[in-house]
Amino acid sequence: MELIINNISKKFKDKIAVDKFNITLHSGIYGLLGPNGSGKTTLMRIIADVSNSSSGDILVNGESKNKLGSNYRDLIGYLPQDIGFYRNFTAEKFLYYVATLKGVDKEIEKNKINDLLKFVNLEEYRNKKIRKFSGGMKQRLGIAQALLNDPKILILDEPTAGLDPNERIRFKNLIANLSKDKIVILSTHIVSDIEFIANEIIVMKEGKLIEKSSLSDIINKVRGKVHTLRISENDLEDIQNEFKISSMIRTNNEICVRVVGDNKPNIREVKYIEEEPNLEDVFLYYFNESANN
Ligand SMILES: Nc1ncnc2c1ncn2[C@@H]1O[C@H](COP(=O)(O)OP(=O)(O)OP(=O)(O)O)[C@@H](O)[C@H]1O
């Protein structure tokens, strides 16, 4: 399976939300990373075919989305950021409802729904009303509905937003267990959520693709640029002017800072230690802001 996003742009009046975006994806789990407003949702809505691009094309195995028509839709599973559940439906009823909308074959519908309820660990809650579900249960139901048509391209927009730590772990395991022949695109601005599940990271800024690499390659980009050092309050301003600060711990008379920047910290006699970089550091390096803002 090959998905080509070919020069996609999206304009809203005078705002360019997606700007000549080009990427080729094969089966695997891709983490789409970018700060708020960078165009992730807009791009995902275009790939999910719920919104049109202003220009450009999408090709699956060489065939244009426009030519494929409803066959393209059959390839797509989509969990939008703001999925509207019918709160008074049970989980099972909701899945039957979506299965009907998606035109899932009646012969396989029942088995499919049973399998999916098992897969997302909601079997014992199948008859519970959605309004009584936790955020994590709703997200898992959201994934189940996205998988109903056995999509080859699964698009999950901020699927971990609002989940507690236990729900996050469950969610990560769920994604990791998805069959390997799918293209899974998962957006977030919470770096730690994709650090352990995505094979490839796609970084988006102001509508543009600025990086597509494996996790280790992208982390290597900031190798040698991350340091910790202990400074006095007086030195803090100099450090802040030259570096992006990823963490700061104050003790009685000193501050331990973790900094990211192109240069080695050069503050008088202060010793610094080079640190093993992580994806948070990458985010800070590219966006000049903390990942979890
Ligand atoms: N319907 C719209 N009309 C006008 N501007 C829009 C519309 N949808 C999105 N935008 C603008 O396009 C830009 C990209 O928005 P988008 O929601 O795609 O970003 P995002 O990366 O998904 O952000 P978030 O993480 O906050 O969801 C933003 O500046 C946003 O204000």
Q: Which residues contact 246 (CB under 8 A, 6 or more apart)?
A: 226, 258, 259, 260, 280, 281, 284, 290
Q: Which atom of ligand 1 is closest in space to residue 42's alpha carbon? A: 18
Distance of CA 46 from the midpoint of ligand 1 (Å): 12
* Site to substitute for ligand 1 among 19, 38, 187, most atoms within 8 A of C-beta: 38
Q: What top-level class would CATH report for the domain 2-220?
A: alpha beta
Distance of CA 17 from the midpoint of ligand 1 (Å): 6
Segments of the chain assigned to CATH 3.30.70: 226-276
* Site to substitute for ligand 1 among 13, 21, 41, most atoms within 8 A of C-beta: 41
Query: pLDDT tens across 198-256, in order?
Result: 889 999 999 999 999 998 899 999 999 999 999 988 889 989 998 999 899 998 889 99
Query: pLDDT tens across 142-187, in order?
Result: 999 999 999 999 999 988 877 788 888 888 888 888 878 899 999 9
Segments of the chain assigned to CATH 3.40.50.300: 2-220
pTM, to two decimals:
0.87
Query: ipTM for the complex?
Result: 0.96
3-state secondary structure labels for all residues of 215-231:
HHHHHHCCCCCEEEEEE
* Beta bridge partner(s), residue 21: 8
Distance of CA 39 from the midpoint of ligand 1 (Å): 6
Place of tokens 């900031």: 222
**Spatial separation of the C-alpha atoms in residues 130 and 266, rounded to whole Å:** 56
pLDDT tier, 16 (very low <50, low <70, confident <90, very high otherwise): very high
- Nearest Cα residue to atom 17 of ligand 1: 41
- Nearest Cα residue to atom 26 of ligand 1: 36
Taking the CA atoms of the chain, what radius of gyration do you get in angstroms?
Answer: 22
Place of tokens 């340091």: 227
Predicted pLDDT at 114: 95
Distance of CA 136 from the midpoint of ligand 1 (Å): 25
Proportion of the chain above pLDDT 90, given as a percent: 63
CATH 3.30.379 fits 226-276, yes or no: no
